[in-house]
Structure 1
Amino acid sequence: MTRLSVEMLAADAVEPITSAGHARLGLAVLAGIAVIVLLITKYKLHAFLALTIGSLALGAFAGAPLDKAILSFTTGLGATVAGVGVLIALGAILGRLLADSGGADQIVDTILAKAGGRAMPWAMVLIASVIGLPLFFEVGIVLLIPVVLMVAKRGNYSVMRIGIPALAGLSVMHGLIPPHPGPLVAIDAVKANLGVTLALGIVVAIPTVIIAGPLFSKVAARWVDVPAPERMLPPRASEELERRPSFGATLATVLLPVVLMLSKALVDIVVDDPTHQVQRVFDVIGSPLIALLTAVIVGMFTLGRAAGFTKDRLSTTVEKSLAPIAGILLIVGAGGGFKQTLIDCGVGQMILDISKDWSIPALLLAWLIAVAIRLATGSATVATISAAGLVAPLAADMSTTHTALLVLAIGTGSLFFSHVNDAGFWLVKEYFGLSVGQTVKTWSVMETIISVVGGGLVLLLSLVI
Structure 2
Amino acid sequence: MTIVAVLFSVGLLIALISVAKLHPFVAFLLAALAAALLLGQPLDTIAGSITKGIGDMLGSLTAILCLGAMFGRIIADSGAAKQIADTLIGAVGRGSITLALAATGFIVGVPLFYNVGFVLMVPLILSVAARSGLPTVYLAIPMLSGLSIAHGFLPPHPSPTALVGLFKADIGWTLIYGAIVGVPTLLIAGPLFARSLRGMTARPQPAARADVDAPPVDPPDAGASFAVALLPVVLLAGTTALLAMSGLSDAAKGWIAFGGNPVVVMLVSLLVAMLVLGVMRGMPLAQVSGGSAEAVKDIAGILLIVAGAGALKQVFVDGGADAALAGWLGGLSLPPLVLGWGLAMVIRIALGSATIAGLTAAGIVQPLVAAGGVDPNLMVLAIGAGSLMCSHVNDSGFWMFKEYFGLTLRETFRSWSVMETLVGIFGLIFTLLLSVLI
1:362-441 alignment, distance < 5 Å: 362-398=336-372, 402-441=375-414
Deviation at 1:138, TM superposition (A): 0.7
Corresponding residue number in structure 1 for 2:133: 156
Corresponding residue number in structure 1 for 2:332: 358
Q: Which amino acid aligns with 2:57?
A: T
Deviation at 1:110, TM superposition (A): 1.7
Which one of 284, 288, 306 corresponds to residue 332 of structure 1? Answer: 306
Corresponding residue number in structure 2 for 1:10: none
- Secondary structure at the aligned position of 2:323 is classed as helix
Structure 1 residue 81 and structure 2 residue 58: aligned? yes
Contact 2:205–2:406 (CA under 8 A) maintained in structure 1: no
Structure-1-length-normalised TM-score:
0.90
Corresponding residue number in structure 1 for 2:257: 283
Contact 1:153–1:228 (CA under 8 A) maintained in structure 2: no
Which segment drifts farther, 30-39 or 131-140?
30-39
* Distance across 2 between alignment mates of 1:238 and 1:57: 53
Contact 1:157–1:227 (CA under 8 A) maintained in structure 2: no
Corresponding residue number in structure 1 for 2:437: 464
Corresponding residue number in structure 2 for 1:9: none
* Distance across 2 between alignment mates of 1:81 and 1:194: 16
Deviation at 1:185, TM superposition (A): 0.8
Which one of 231, 234, 253 corresponds to residue 210 of structure 2? Answer: 234
Which one of 172, 178, 190 corresponds to residue 213 of structure 1? Answer: 190
* Distance across 1 between alignment mates of 2:251 and 2:270: 26
Corresponding residue number in structure 1 for 2:73: 96
Q: Which amino acid aligns with 1:94?
A: F
Q: Between Structure 1 and Structure 2, how many residues are aligned?
A: 437
1:357/1:323 Cα in 2 relative to 1: closer, same or farther (>3 Å)? closer
Q: Which amino acid aligns with 2:367?
A: P
Deviation at 1:268, TM superposition (A): 2.0
Q: Which amino acid aligns with 1:231?
A: P
Deviation at 1:242, TM superposition (A): 2.5
Deviation at 1:288, TM superposition (A): 0.8
Deviation at 1:397, TM superposition (A): 4.5
Which segment drifts farther, 426-435 or 141-150?
426-435
Contact 1:102–1:237 (CA under 8 A) maintained in structure 2: no
- Secondary structure at the aligned position of 1:418 is classed as coil
**Gap runs ≥5 in structure 2:** none
Q: Which amino acid aligns with 1:267?
A: L
Which one of 428, 433, 436 corresponds to residue 455 of structure 1? Answer: 428
Q: Which amino acid aligns with 1:236?
A: V
* Distance across 1 between alignment mates of 2:397 and 2:44: 37
Q: Which amino acid aligns with 1:448?
A: T
**Gap runs ≥5 in structure 1:** 1-23
Q: Which amino acid aligns with 2:326?
A: L
1:18-37 alignment, distance < 5 Å: 24-37=1-14
Corresponding residue number in structure 1 for 2:223: 248
Q: Deviations over 1:317-344 (max 9, x none)?
A: 1221111111111111111212222222
RMSD across aligned positions (CA) = 1.8
Which one of 98, 104, 112 corresponds to residue 135 of structure 1? Answer: 112
Deviation at 1:78, TM superposition (A): 1.1
Deviation at 1:265, TM superposition (A): 1.1
1:422/1:276 Cα in 2 relative to 1: closer, same or farther (>3 Å)? same
Deviation at 1:96, TM superposition (A): 0.6
* Distance across 2 between alignment mates of 1:281 and 1:237: 43
Q: Deviations over 1:101-155 (max 9, x none)?
A: 1111111222222234221111111111111101111111011010011111222
Corresponding residue number in structure 2 for 1:20: none
- Secondary structure at the aligned position of 1:300 is classed as helix
1:362/1:54 Cα in 2 relative to 1: closer, same or farther (>3 Å)? same
Which one of 22, 34, 48 corresponds to residue 25 of structure 2? Answer: 48
Q: Which amino acid aligns with 1:293?
A: L
Contact 2:385–2:427 (CA under 8 A) maintained in structure 1: yes
Contact 2:129–2:136 (CA under 8 A) maintained in structure 1: yes
- Secondary structure at the aligned position of 1:270 is classed as coil
Stretches of 4+ aligned residues off by more than 6 angstroms: none
Deviation at 1:237, TM superposition (A): 7.7
Give the % identical residues.
38
Contact 1:271–1:279 (CA under 8 A) maintained in structure 2: no
* Distance across 2 between alignment mates of 1:114 and 1:122: 11
* Distance across 2 between alignment mates of 1:205 and 1:45: 33
* Distance across 1 between alignment mates of 2:202 and 2:343: 38
Contact 1:102–1:238 (CA under 8 A) maintained in structure 2: no
* Distance across 2 between alignment mates of 1:258 and 1:346: 38
* Distance across 2 between alignment mates of 1:40 and 1:221: 37
Deviation at 1:272, TM superposition (A): 7.6
Q: Which amino acid aligns with 1:443?
A: W
Which segment drifts farther, 160-169 or 108-117?
108-117
